Amino acid sequence: MPFFKSLYNSRRAYLIIGFFACSIFQGYSQNIKVSDSLERELKKGNYDKAGELELLRLISSEETDYDKQLTYSLQLIVLAKELKDTESEFSGYLQKGNAYQAKGDLTKALESYFDASKIAKDNKYIDREADVDLAIAGTYSIMGDTDSSFQYYRESLRILDSINEPLSLASAQLNFGDELLLVKELDSALYYFNKSNKIFKGLDDKDTSEFGQALNLGNIGLVYAEKGDNEKAEENINRAIEVLNDFGDYPSVCVYLSAMSDVYTEKGQSRKAVDYAKQSLDLALKHGLKDEIGQGYLKLSKLYENRGNINKAYDAYKNAIEYRDSVTNITEFQRQNKMRTDDAVYDEVVARQAQEKVNNQQKIIIGLVVLGLLIIGFLAVKFLKQSKVLEKQKGVIEYEKQRSEELLTNILPEETAEELKEHGSVKAKKFDNVSVLFTDFKGFTSQASLLSPEDLVKSIDYYFSKFDEIVEKYKLEKIKTIGDAYMCAGGLPHHIDHQAAKVAQAGLEIADFVKQTKRNLDHTLAKFDIRVGIHTGPVVAGVVGTKKFQYDIWGDAVNIAARMESSSDVGKVNVSENTYKLLKEYDMFELTSRGALEAKGKGKIEMYFVDYKD
């Protein structure tokens, strides 16, 4: 099932193109009619298992209610396995993945797509393998995992180049170009849009040909807009809008009208920019396009603000917020209404069981009272032997004291813990030469929004536990974690030889571990990119808190280390000039100057990338 895709900044809108029972241009309402008709036929039951299998396959591919699509795809998988029909089983897993993707559960979508991919490979369904690779690429794209997305797009294109599936190939090229546009690889994006456009021009089906060319023209216009060639951008986008309006693809028209607004903003023609933004918003309001309505109000707010019309900017922004809240409230109402309906189903059962529960609770209470009296009597006899009791209590106290001391040394450095136990407080100390390391995950917020709280905590624990092992390996001191940031240092609370080199080795090992984890497809943990920064200088260290102790460090060196991390690149270890001077003495490191770069609040700072020599 090939698909087109349109791009608006970091937001993707997908148009799925099906080829059974209805044309792609008959629209959403026809899909509903087809799926409802097939569902009624399924409920009649006038068919054998082979007929049921075919109906399930059709319903799961046409269904527009994603919960229903998920239900029917699961039924399709079970029946296909029973009848040993691997093609239908593949279709079931593919549609299951599509349903999960539409519902926003991208981890489960990928699991289903990988199941479908295995079936396609085992049975040499070459064209099916290309389809599912496209679906996987699109899912990784939504997750913001560009490397994985590129990998699967290229694999799909490789397969499609070897078989005679021109529409699938053109769709894949269009999608890949869209992904390249997203990461600003403009020449490559333009190359694939032009290749896709050439194929669409040669298709026999006139509607499909014109529709595909329109999407390519619109995206080519976006490329020219990024390049600053506003004349070509306007020409291509206007042609795309004209065709897509005829086909009723209003979400894409809204995207391109908004892009035209950006073109005229770049030209300095704010009046025309506002006019195109209004056209986009009006179209979205007319057709109830939720995402486009919110984006439209926000764009108008920004445009009015740039023109100095604060009142209109405020009104547009207020409309955006009110619309967002109204959508949220409707969704919450629907969720709560469903919960109330579900609860009502069980009310009668709960009522019948209520008295029985009360009786059981009374029996339990009576039993507990009797048991409690027996225990009290038993303890009374035991407490008569005072000497033995005191001896046991002393042992318990010693054990708890030992546990407390062990816990304290886990929280604080050993020397600091001893000082706290002896004096009840810890004096702050200055260290003249400490190498401070910061790490931070790129794209953490977007990844976190896709995971359940349990899976997010599991992922963070997995990464930070490995970081702890690496820090301990090089005899460094872990300072703290703040959200998705990790901080450690070398050279405190006591001196260690070659501390700057050991901190650099730890940073490189952390970066390599994160990179290897991302490439590993055999787990469902979050896949992050990481930036690492190191600076060497004086710090002050001490303990804060009276109930929950925390060992922490302060000083300009800490702030500069944080700037090294935020100025680093993905997968790289960025060091300051102070650290560079210490590391250049070691033959194992390759140090690459980045020049003097601007660091927030610090002005320009000489920075270097550090890596191992080949």
Q: Choose between 590 and 601: higher pLDDT.
A: 590
Give yes or no for residue 152 having a pLDDT over 70. yes
Mean of pLDDT over the chain: 79
Q: Mean pLDDT throughout 130-157?
A: 89
The domain boundary residue, chosen from 163, 188, 203: 163
Instruction: Return the pLDDT at 439.
Output: 95
Nearest to 144 by CA among 371, 445, 565: 445
For residue 47, give the 3-state DSSP assignment.
coil
Q: How far apart are CA 321 and CA 316, in angstroms?
A: 9
Q: Which of 46-50, 271-275, 332-336 has the highest mean pLDDT?
A: 271-275
Q: Choose between 28 and 517: higher pLDDT.
A: 517
* Cis status of the peptide bond prior to 453, with omega within 30 of 0: no
575: domain CATH number is 3.30.70.1230
Q: Does some domain include residue 318? A: no
For residue 428, the 8-state DSSP code is: -
Instruction: Return the pLDDT at 143.
Output: 86
For residue 169, the 8-state DSSP code is: H
Partners of 591 in beta bridges? 610
Instruction: Return the pLDDT at 46.
Output: 67
Element holding 117 (H helix, E strand) = helix 106-122
Q: Does some domain include residue 597? A: yes
Q: Does some domain include residue 187? A: no
Give yes or no for residue 405 having a pLDDT over 80. no
Give yes or no for residue 374 having a pLDDT over 60. yes
The domain boundary residue, chosen from 163, 180, 210: 163
Reported as half-sphere exposure (CB side, CA atoms, 13 A), residue 258 has a value of 28
Partners of 367 in beta bridges? none
119: domain CATH number is 1.25.40.10
Q: Choose between 244 and 520: higher pLDDT.
A: 244
CA 60 from chain centre, in angstroms, equals 27
The overall longest dimension of the chain from CA atoms, in Å, is 100
Q: Does some domain include residue 550? A: yes
Q: Does some domain include residue 499? A: yes
Domain of residue 585, residue span: 428-612
Q: Mean pLDDT throughout 201-211?
A: 90
Nearest to 104 by CA among 294, 371, 331, 293: 331
Token readout for 489 is 């240092």
Reported as half-sphere exposure (CB side, CA atoms, 13 A), residue 11 has a value of 11
Q: Does some domain include residue 342? A: no
Give yes or no for residue 30 having a pLDDT over 50. no
Q: Choose between 413 and 251: higher pLDDT.
A: 251
pLDDT band at 379 (very low <50, low <70, confident <90, very high): low
Q: Mean pLDDT throughout 264-278?
A: 86
The string of DSSP letters for 70-98 reads HHHHHHHHHHHHHHT-HHHHHHHHHHHHH
Q: Mean pLDDT throughout 99-128?
A: 90
Q: Does some domain include residue 13? A: yes
Q: How far apart are CA 554 and CA 480, in angstroms?
A: 12
Quick check: 456 and 446 in contact, CB under 8 A? Answer: no
Instruction: Return the pLDDT at 44.
Output: 65
Q: HEC string of 272-310? A: HHHHHHHHHHHHHHHHCCHHHHHHHHHHHHHHHHHCCCH
Give yes or no for residue 14 having a pLDDT over 60. no
Give yes or no for residue 28 having a pLDDT over 90. no
The domain boundary residue, chosen from 148, 163, 178: 163
pLDDT tens-place string over residues 418-473:
655 565 556 778 898 999 999 998 877 777 777 778 888 888 889 999 999 999 99
Domains in the chain, number: 2
Q: Mean pLDDT throughout 346-369?
A: 55
Q: How far apart are CA 274 and CA 262, in angstroms?
A: 9
Instruction: Return the pLDDT at 145.
Output: 87
Q: Does some domain include residue 288? A: no
Q: Choose between 249 and 42: higher pLDDT.
A: 249
